[in-house]
Structure 1
Amino acid sequence: MLTHPSRDISQHWAFGQDIEVLPRIFEDDITLAVMERRLDPALALAVRAQLAGPRSLEWYWRGAPGQAMQSDLARRLPAPDAGAALLDDVATIAEAMAFLFDTETIGIRLRTLEGAMCPRFHVDNLAVRLVTTYAGPASEWLPEHAVNRAGLGAPHPDKPEIVADPDAIRQLAVGDLALLKGCGWVGNEERGLVHRSPQPAAGERRLLLALDPG
């Protein structure tokens, strides 16, 4: 399984270590734009603190990113006293998302997962979503040449396998900021990025952040 893809002439993804890679999602051919990053020590420590106890986290916000959002999230964190770096990171990402898509409203979900949320490869019907994994295995995705789109949708015995080349399955890294273009993006109706949630190991939990503009 490849973590970071090599280039080829038909690629529909953009990876980089600077935030300037994210606006490439507006390019017609790009369905995945990823800012590669590693969690800094303070953020990694804050994430571990949230996962240390038995209480799960399921937080949702829809509105403007700002102090009210941060205060609401702080009240929901399992370990709020150790969560400052995580609060700052979520706020920074939300503000960047609002700026990039010129909107005052962001839908944000931060949750812990002990199983695969969407274990089957699929496409999103929305326009675009940003995802980042703070802990646990990160999202898997398929380059277009490895997809049989006739297999997408509800499972049925007559449908072919979605994955045309199992060796082509690729995976994001913890910390990566990934913009996934869906079928709701005008002009991308038949080319939504095919992806899935990985299955955590026994006893492992994921901490996943997802943001939708508008």
Structure 2
Amino acid sequence: MSTAAAPSLAAPQWDTDSTHWACGDDISVLPRIFEPGITLAVMTRRLDAALQASIAAQLNGTRGISWHWRGGVDQRLGDDLLRHLPAADQGAALVEDIRTIAEAMAYLFDTDTVGVRLRTLEGAMCPRFHVDNLAVRMITTYAGPASEWLPESAVNRAGLGAPHPDKPEPLRDPEAIRQLSIGDLALLKGGGWIGNEGHGLVHRSPQPAAGERRLLLALDPG
């Protein structure tokens, strides 16, 4: 995968069909986030047995995970994460996967540092459809329900932001809600991306079932 160019300043064409997202099972789909008008790039993937076992081990106990890292993507990241896992003796596969993803993020955005968060969640972190006011974020769900998002045709942007009695619902069509799958690597372009103001991808956190926990990874470049 070659280093992607800087975000284009060209005015994007905001079609209401599938032209604003890209999906594929190869890492080459991720640089499409740099294309004007693309607000979501998803690499679909299946988690192998070793990684699934490592994830399950972290969720077997009662202790949650709330780990944050900002820095390089070298061995220090992996060592720090391992110290914060509930089942560190079974954490190698998960740590290796997160380091690989962080390295890809740093390479794609030509940065020496990344911000990384790994959290267990028992409720919806952001239950209302919203747009991130940053340039871009990568997310992947390791366990539990994955993030939901809306195609542009299903969004009423006048309803975004803090709820208010005078605001309409941001969701035009409940049947149009899309959902990522466990393991998917998704780049979400936000409102802070130059040239994408007012067109960030609209998404939300789903509500886990009673007794269910999500394990969510989020990465920011720089």
TM-score range (shorter-chain normalised) is: over 0.9
User: Amino acid of the residue matched to residue 51 of structure 2?
Assistant: L
Distance 1:58 1:64, change over 3 A: same
Determine the structure 1 residue equivalent to 2:11.
none
The two structures, once aligned, show a CA RMSD in angstroms of 0.8
Given the alignment, which residue of 77, 90, 97 partners 1:82? 90
Q: CA deviation at 1:10?
A: 4.9
Determine the structure 2 residue equivalent to 1:181.
189
Determine the structure 2 residue equivalent to 1:63.
71
User: Amino acid of the residue matched to residue 68 of structure 1?
Assistant: R
CA deviation string 1:85-127 (max 9, x = no partner):
0000000000000000000010000010000000000000000
Q: Does residue 103 of the first structure (1) align with residue 107 of the second (2)?
A: no
Task: For 1:207 and 1:22, locate their aligned partners in 2 and report how far apart those are by CA, in whole Å.
Answer: 22
Task: For 2:18 and 2:212, locate their aligned partners in 1 and report how far apart those are by CA, in whole Å.
Answer: 36
Q: CA deviation at 1:28?
A: 0.4
Q: How many residues align?
A: 207
Map 1:38-49 → 2, pairs under 5 A: 38-49=46-57
Determine the structure 2 residue equivalent to 1:24.
32
Residue pair 1:11, 1:143 contacting (<8 A) in 2 also: no
Given the alignment, which residue of 21, 28, 36 partners 1:13? 21
Residue pair 2:70, 2:114 contacting (<8 A) in 1 also: yes
Residue pair 1:12, 1:31 contacting (<8 A) in 2 also: yes
Structure 1: 4+ residue segments shifted above 3 A: none
Determine the structure 1 residue equivalent to 2:133.
125
User: Amino acid of the residue matched to residue 56 of structure 1?
Assistant: G
Q: CA deviation at 1:29?
A: 1.2
Instruction: Name the TM-score, length of structure 2 as normaliser.
Output: 0.92
User: Amino acid of the residue matched to residue 88 of structure 1?
Assistant: E
Task: For 1:191 and 1:78, locate their aligned partners in 2 and report how far apart those are by CA, in whole Å.
Answer: 39
CA deviation string 1:27-86 (max 9, x = no partner):
001000000001110000000000000000000000001111110000000000001000
User: Amino acid of the residue matched to residue 69 of structure 1?
Assistant: L
Determine the structure 2 residue equivalent to 1:3.
none
Task: For 1:9 and 1:207, locate their aligned partners in 2 and report how far apart those are by CA, in whole Å.
Answer: 31
Task: For 1:162 and 1:64, locate their aligned partners in 2 and report how far apart those are by CA, in whole Å.
Answer: 38
Query: Is the partner of 1:71 in helix, strand or coil?
Result: helix
Task: For 2:90 and 2:132, locate their aligned partners in 1 and report how far apart those are by CA, in whole Å.
Answer: 34
Q: CA deviation at 1:23?
A: 0.2
Residue pair 1:112, 1:207 contacting (<8 A) in 2 also: yes
Residue pair 1:148, 1:164 contacting (<8 A) in 2 also: yes
Task: For 1:151 and 1:11, locate their aligned partners in 2 and report how far apart those are by CA, in whole Å.
Answer: 23
Determine the structure 1 residue equivalent to 2:176.
168
Given the alignment, which residue of 132, 138, 154 partners 2:162? 154
Query: Is the partner of 2:192 in helix, strand or coil?
Result: coil
Residue pair 1:127, 1:185 contacting (<8 A) in 2 also: yes
Task: For 1:10 and 1:190, locate their aligned partners in 2 and report how far apart those are by CA, in whole Å.
Answer: 18
Determine the structure 2 residue equivalent to 1:134.
142
Q: Does residue 112 of the first structure (1) align with residue 101 of the second (2)?
A: no
Given the alignment, which residue of 190, 208, 214 partners 2:216? 208
Structure 1 portions without partners, runs of 5+:
1-7
